[in-house]
Amino acid sequence: MFRNSILQCFLIISACTSIDAFAPKAFISKQSFGISSLTDEDGKTTSTSLNSSREAAAPTFGSSSSRKGIKEITYPYDPTKIRNFSIIAHIDHGKSTLADRLLESTSTVAERDMEAQLLDNMDIERERGITIKLQAARVMYKSKKDGEVYTLNLIDTPGHVDFSYEVSRSLAACEGALLVVDASQGIEAQTLANVYLALENDLEIIPVLNKIDLPAADPDRVSEEIEDTIGLDCTDIIKASAKAGIGIEDIMEAIIEQVPPPQASEPDAPLRALIFDSYYDPYRGVVVFFRVIDGEVKKGDKIRFLASGAEHEVTEVGVMQPQQVPVTSLQAGEVGYICGSVKDVQDTRVGDTITLASQYKAAANEISKENGNKPIGEIEGAMPIQPLPGYSESVPMVYCGLFPVDADDYENLRDSLGKLTLNDAALSYEPETSGAMGFGFRCGFLGLLHMEIIQERLSREYDLDLIVTAPSVVYKIMEGQGDNEKMTIVDAPSKMPDLTRDIRALEPYVKMEILTPSEYNGAIIELGQERRGILKDIKYLTPTRSTIEYEVPLAEVITDFFDQLKSRTKGYASMEYSIMDYRESDLCRLDVKINYEDAPPLACIVHKDQAQSVGRKLVEKLKELIPRQMFKVPIQACVGVKVIASQSISPMRKDVLAKCYGGDLSRKKKLLQKQAKGKKRMKAMGKVNVPQEAFMAVIKLDRGNQ
């Protein structure tokens, strides 16, 4: 039997050898990310593609070994054939669908791997149908006009106002922008906001009318809106439908013709690259997405992050197609990613500049010699390599407290927030301690949706159970007068002092722009008056569409303002706001007591005129959310020591008289008195568990009848 096994193995080996003998002279040696390499007898490596459409567009690439057997691709470099652009639009105007069609039409992604919202790689994005993170991808396109192959680096951006910081970062890495406008809905609030961001970065804007195949589409009206409102020439505006694949080729040709190539770099210029995004990989460390401005970076180089001063050796450099594909090097004008086994999340910051450590040290030595061999740190204003401008810091609009349910998870929460900040630079946090909640963090967000997304990501990606306190804005408290005036920042209701004659409270106001069909102007003005807004202007863009400008306290916006706006306009209105200034207001702290004990996480800061109505609605809402106990639970809303609203949760009561089928009345009274004594003792010792929904009750109050 053993001899038979040996004989079978020998026959199999012989068969394999005979197959190799008759194998073709060229054989496939690499197939990765839709690109195949063929090696001939002479050892020369050429590349072809998996389908004929890709063959027409793709150039010939070389390859070399990389980690895990994946081959590094060598792309031909010609800066005049590179185009970097972003896709910007209002939410739900078809940005992600257009990005899908661009990837599909250039065969960047195989047809079998294609799916809707391909670049939206988070489960939350797919569930909600919105883009949360900017996503970059590189496509190769062969022009129909000149026959040249162009490298197009596209960045898909979010459309919601809460993620405008993502848009601003992506635009800083580009030379052009595709402005996508829904042909049925026309210009909306975030459309204008994104156009202004693109103009600030001096980008070439290409307007595109999307969804022209819809029955309600009106391209002529929307084109006129764009010309009148934004001032773009819409004579040759591209009419497209990303879903139906109409006009995709026209868009590609317009990008090549109108978007300028990146500025040429000096041949001997030191490496300077701008970090526009990053994330933490548990196996490879921090993965950095960047745009090369000057110089060249390749695997094996030792790089330096100028802001943090950290130095790491490059273990991998590559491009996104949209999967990560290793390449031999990246040069000026190209967009890609880099890995350097960076384990400390503080080493890489969005907006930082990457350079080569050797070039930095050489420049530092020259400056040191010119200054009498002084150390570079002692030379005032010394910059061996000039850093790139980077990004302005994001300004949080909304603050809330994040506390772990289990106190042992505090360290995990701190590490998770640090890793999440890599991927979302708009998130800010600092440690906070609460007597009721324990140790946690005070986090700053750009809006309520941003806050919900961060909470959801912490729960899903890092498996954390959290308690989230009610959101609040930042107030300024002015104490004293004249030269003795002192300012205090208040970002939590618990820090709000009792206002006296010498203490003034300032709250932030925002400039709000609401775009709406003109028939809903009355309902919007009524909503603005309810929220202490100041009507500044009404402009009619067209006979049927208008824009309303308001100045509103930010505290009124972060509650249910957006939900009310959508409800009163049947979903047609859109809004965009930006911080203006701080103004004096008559504010007070509304405290909540549960079972006669203060509940600081439920406290909120309100205007004195609204304190009673908000307090009454809040205690009614808490009565619905807090479960019944074995004893009576009073819920009180207080301003200072004065109770302005109160509700009680009736106790669950056991029928102690069930066993008394008869007998004297004194027997029944005795049982009832015994039960009352037990409940009194339970009330003195009992604790009330407040569910998570109760902490968010403040922002879900119906304020329509205030």
Over range 506-525, report the average pLDDT.
Answer: 89
Decide if pLDDT at 563 tops 80. Answer: no
CATH number of 272-378, picked from 3.90.1140.10, 2.40.30.10, 1.10.287.1770, 3.60.15.30: 2.40.30.10
Decide if pLDDT at 555 tops 70. Answer: yes
Question: What pLDDT is attached to residue 90?
Answer: 84
Over range 242-247, report the average pLDDT.
Answer: 88
Give the span between the Cα atoms of 349 and 441, in whole angstroms.
20
In three-state form (DSSP H/G/I as H, E/B as E, the rest C), the secondary structure along 607-626 is EHHHHHHHHHHHHHHHHHHC
Give the span between the Cα atoms of 77 and 61, in whole angstroms.
11
pLDDT single digits (tens) 434-485: 766 778 898 888 878 888 889 889 988 888 888 887 777 888 888 877 777 8
Give the span between the Cα atoms of 136 and 151, in whole angstroms.
13
Question: What pLDDT is attached to residue 131?
Answer: 82
360: helix, coil or strand?
helix
Crossing angle for the helix pair 164-171 and 189-200, nearest 10 degrees?
30
* CATH class of this structure's domain 588-700: alpha beta
Over range 180-188, report the average pLDDT.
Answer: 88
Give the span between the Cα atoms of 594 and 615, in whole angstroms.
13
Question: What pLDDT is attached to residue 435?
Answer: 67
Crossing angle for the helix pair 95-105 and 248-258, nearest 10 degrees?
90
CATH architecture label of 79-258: 3-Layer(aba) Sandwich (3.40)
Decide if pLDDT at 149 tops 50. Answer: yes
Question: What pLDDT is attached to residue 626?
Answer: 83
Question: What pLDDT is attached to residue 650?
Answer: 82
Over range 129-141, report the average pLDDT.
Answer: 86
CB 229 within 8 A of CB 540: no
Supply the pTM of this predicted model.
Answer: 0.72
Tell me the pLDDT band of 380, cut-offs 50, 70 and 90.
low
Over range 638-667, report the average pLDDT.
Answer: 77
Tell me the pLDDT band of 229, cut-offs 50, 70 and 90.
confident
Give the span between the Cα atoms of 584 and 587, in whole angstroms.
9
Question: What pLDDT is attached to residue 255?
Answer: 92
> What is the residue whose two structure tokens read 């868009």?
251
Question: What pLDDT is attached to residue 543?
Answer: 81
**What number of helices (H) and strands (E) belong to the chain?**
17, 36
What are residue 215's phi and psi, to 5 degrees?
A: -60, -30
Residue 140: its H or E element:
strand 135-142
Crossing angle for the helix pair 448-461 and 410-423, nearest 10 degrees?
120
Crossing angle for the helix pair 561-568 and 521-530, nearest 10 degrees?
150
pLDDT single digits (tens) 38-65: 334 344 444 333 333 333 344 445 544 4
CA atoms within 13 A on the CB side of 395: 10
State yes or no: cis peptide before 431, omega within 30 of 0. no
Give the span between the Cα atoms of 564 and 571, in whole angstroms.
10
Residue 164: its H or E element:
helix 164-171
Question: What pLDDT is attached to residue 701?
Answer: 63
Per-domain boundaries in the chain: 31-73, 79-258, 272-378, 398-468, 475-585, 588-700
CA atoms within 13 A on the CB side of 555: 23
Strands, E assignment, 435-573: 438-445, 466-468, 475-479, 486-490, 503-517, 534-542, 545-553
Tell me the pLDDT band of 70, cut-offs 50, 70 and 90.
low
Question: What pLDDT is attached to residue 381?
Answer: 62
Tokens coding 642 = 């004065």
- Max CA-CA distance within the chain? 112
The dihedral of CA 85, 91, 94, 100: what is its sign? positive
* CATH class of this structure's domain 475-585: alpha beta
Which residues are bridge partners to 604 per DSSP?
Answer: 590
One fold for 398-468 and 475-585: yes
What are residue 358's phi and psi, to 5 degrees?
A: -65, -40
Decide if pLDDT at 629 tops 80. Answer: no
Over range 247-276, report the average pLDDT.
Answer: 89
256: helix, coil or strand?
helix
Q: What percent of the chain clears pLDDT 90, i.e. is strictly above it? A: 15
CATH number of 398-468: 3.30.70.870
Q: Report the b/e string of 176-201 with b at 16+ CB within 10 A.
A: bbbbbbbbbbbbbbbbbbbbebbeee
Question: What pLDDT is attached to residue 488?
Answer: 87
pLDDT single digits (tens) 274-311: 998 888 888 888 999 999 999 999 988 999 998 888 89
Burial class (CB in 10 A: 0-12, 13-18, 19+), 235: exposed
Over range 544-553, report the average pLDDT.
Answer: 89
